[in-house]
Structure 1
Amino acid sequence: MSTLWVLGAGQLGAMLKQAGTPLGLDIRPVDIETDEVLPLAQDDIVTAEREEWPETAATKQLATHKNFVNLDTFPQLADRLTQKQWLDRLELATAPWFPVEEDTDADYAYQTLGERVLMKRRRGGYDGKGQYWLKQTENTAIPDDWKGLAIAEQAINFDEEVSLVGVRGKNGEKYFYPLTLNLHINGILYASISPLKRLDQYQSKAEAMLGKLMDALDYVGVMAMECFRVGDELLINELAPRVHNSGHWSQAGASICQFENHVRAVTNLPLAPVQVKNQSMMVNLIGVDVDYQWLNIKALELYWYKKEVRPGRKVGHLNFCSADISVLKQGLTELTLPAPYPEALEWLEKNL
């Protein structure tokens, strides 16, 4: 079996390696800043744990390899302008939007999209960064350094946020995980829960939307689609051409986790339908120190990324999985975390 190289050596790369190890695969995440000469063979395969990357000695080697899967897709989805253009081209529902040009002013934004408009940097800016609100009641203006570098979206008064993770093989075969309900606080994902029976009614619609996009891009591997649910409608908010934070619950709660599915797809191994084991939930660990006493909590699995702890930084996550809802609820009561976690834990308990 060829070596699978992962552009990026963060937590997603580490979890891809972990998922591929039982399959006997040689998976090597690569620090994008390394200047060592990588021993890439002609029949090796390259994937990525991130949408975009700087030009370094390492990324040059990987990004010029003939077997870099989805290489042409990354720049199209990493740029929010071309991502939105793809959604419009495929007639997939998303928030009304327009590109912010050099001559765009706030009055045009309010006239076009309403009194509340969210600007997003075209590149980067995840976890609540790279966003700027225009509010007509506050006479907000567009800063000069946002012009030509952003898109503007209509503010959506959504009922809730959901995401769908799917996988597509080289032969076009597709499988999907159940919809996941997500809670963001200050733009950062704090908690997820899946599956939920009440979300079943939206599953086929979500699968058709993500499947249409993956087919159009001839995409291979795992892709995530974050959506706003507004009544019975789904509006696509963001796309991620990679394994995704909101799919982490699958490590405990599915027969094949999102990481193994991605590895299987890009190495052309057989895919299989996902079997959900039990009720799952995930708590992101953001700017908090590890506490190994968490391991005393029933149905809990800890993933610690071995990163320096800093405010707002994702440093790990907790997965819970059990057929007994009372066990999950008890686990939430035993989990002691600082603000704003009480809000997230209460949200999980309410949605179980």
Structure 2
Amino acid sequence: MSRIWVLGAGQLGQMLKHAGMPLDLEVCPVDIESEETFPLELHEQVTAEREQWPDTAATRQLAAHPGFVNLNTFPILADRFTQKSLIDKLELATAPWRLVEADTTADGLHQALGERVLLKRRTGGYDGRGQHWLREPGRDAIPDDWHTQAIAEQAIDFDEEVSIVGMRGDDGQCHFYPLTLNLHVNGILLGSVSPLARLAHLQAEAEGMLGKLMNDLDYVGVMAMECFRVGDHLLINELAPRVHNSGHWTQAGASVSQFEAHLRAVAGLPLVKPRVKNLSVMVNLVGTERDNGWLAVDGAELYWYGKEVRPGRKVGHINFCLDSQAETRSALDRLEPLLPASYGPVLDWLRSQLD
């Protein structure tokens, strides 16, 4: 049995472990806070479920291992300044932006980027965290501790939020999943649906953009690219050098899930273009207690993370990949009374994509 170590033991690491079992890969997620050391062998591989990690005995050991795949990619993509700089270098479309330097002023950002400007922390910040809006020219101010620690982006009046997940082997071979349409509420992904025929004309553009990025980085594994759809074109929002929440539907809806694809690439196993089974829907479970009634909904595939339930925390997801859109709509109807009332608009949105 080959062994792959995962820096991070959250739900992504656990789902990688689950995906490794049919391949006879022993996947070992490691708690980033651990001060233990582990029996890594020289021939084994190391990957990560996250872009950043603290300095602990465990992370030092894994990061020093010669088999840490994509080690040099993480600092580039974990910092929004170097990530945006890479996108610009490759002449790929993204929102106009500026580095927030020590002498940058809110008025200067408004003059350069427009009336609505979004500040984003260079590192950290996800699910809507680490962001600050400037919406009032002449009255705004940049918080003191954001200078040199953030970038500023022009607000984009986008039509929809989409993402694409791709995989690349160490021989440069790339394959992609179809575009996924996503719904975010307060910065947190709550629903996804893929594939949609009306997005198919954007697939080649998305693959070209993500493929160019992965090739430039000599990346091995799965990478996700979140985009804004503006008319008939895409703008890159952010990149994730790992398996991604918006690719969870592939567990039910594709012949090879994003988790298996990542492990295949890291382990040097053959990569194939995933076959999509049917239209899939993913409902993200955020800050809600488990209800075993979900398991009685026809077609529901529950992934419960076993984490303490807290407001705003991702604690699980449910996938549906049924034979018809009518069956999917019926399943969402049955699921709705088993979720908090706040999920009503999310399920309405998902149903609207089935029309």
Q: Per the shorter chain, which TM-score range?
A: over 0.9
| Contact residue 2 and residue 24 of structure 2 kept, 8 A | no
| Contact residue 2 and residue 43 of structure 1 kept, 8 A | no
Q: Which ranges in structure 2 are unaligned for 5 or more consecutive residues? A: none
**Number of aligned positions between the proteins:** 352
- Aligned with residue 342 of structure 2, among 331, 340, 343: 340
**Distance in 2, Cα, partners of 1:115 & 1:62:** 45
**Distance in 2, Cα, partners of 1:138 & 1:289:** 45
Q: Who is 1:109 aligned against?
A: 109
Structure 1 residue 141 corresponds to structure 2 residue 141 = yes
User: What are the within-5 Å matches in structure 2 for residues 30-109 of structure 1?
Assistant: 30-109=30-109
Q: Which ranges in structure 1 are unaligned for 5 or more consecutive residues? A: none
Q: Who is 2:167 aligned against?
A: 167
| Contact residue 107 and residue 138 of structure 2 kept, 8 A | no
Shift of 1:340: 2.5
**Distance in 1, Cα, partners of 2:273 & 2:53:** 32
Out of 316-325 and 162-171, give the one that drifted further: 316-325
Shift of 1:136: 2.2
Tell me the TM-score normalised to structure 1 length.
0.99
Out of 144-153 and 129-138, give the one that drifted further: 129-138
Structure 1 residue 323 corresponds to structure 2 residue 323 = yes
Q: Who is 2:249 aligned against?
A: 249
| Contact residue 94 and residue 235 of structure 2 kept, 8 A | yes
Tell me the TM-score normalised to structure 2 length.
0.98
User: What are the within-5 Å matches in structure 2 for residues 208-223 of structure 1?
Assistant: 208-223=208-223
Structure 1 residue 5 corresponds to structure 2 residue 5 = yes
SS at match of 1:112: helix
| Contact residue 286 and residue 313 of structure 2 kept, 8 A | yes
Q: Who is 2:310 aligned against?
A: 310
**Which digits, 9 at most, give the CA deviation of each residue in 1:85-141, with x for residues without a partner?**
000000010000010001100100110000000000000100000000001258221
| Contact residue 100 and residue 149 of structure 1 kept, 8 A | yes
Q: Who is 2:268 aligned against?
A: 268
Deviation beyond 6 Å, 4+ runs, structure 1: none
Q: Which amino acid aligns with 1:341?
A: Y
**Which digits, 9 at most, give the CA deviation of each residue in 1:233-265, with x for residues without a partner?**
100000000000000000000000000000000
**Which digits, 9 at most, give the CA deviation of each residue in 1:41-80, with x for residues without a partner?**
0101000000010010100010000000000000000000
- Aligned with residue 351 of structure 2, among 346, 349, 352: 349
Q: Which amino acid aligns with 1:350?
A: S
SS at match of 2:199: helix
SS at match of 1:136: coil
**Distance in 2, Cα, partners of 1:342 & 1:201:** 30
SS at match of 1:340: helix
Q: Which amino acid aligns with 1:21?
A: M
**Which digits, 9 at most, give the CA deviation of each residue in 1:21-54, with x for residues without a partner?**
0111111001111222200101010000000100
Q: Which amino acid aligns with 2:287?
A: G
| Contact residue 49 and residue 243 of structure 1 kept, 8 A | yes
Q: Which amino acid aligns with 2:28?
A: R
**Distance in 1, Cα, partners of 2:233 & 2:76:** 25
Shift of 1:2: 3.1
SS at match of 1:3: strand
**Distance in 1, Cα, partners of 2:342 & 2:100:** 33
Percentage identity across aligned positions? 66
**Distance in 2, Cα, partners of 1:41 & 1:188:** 38
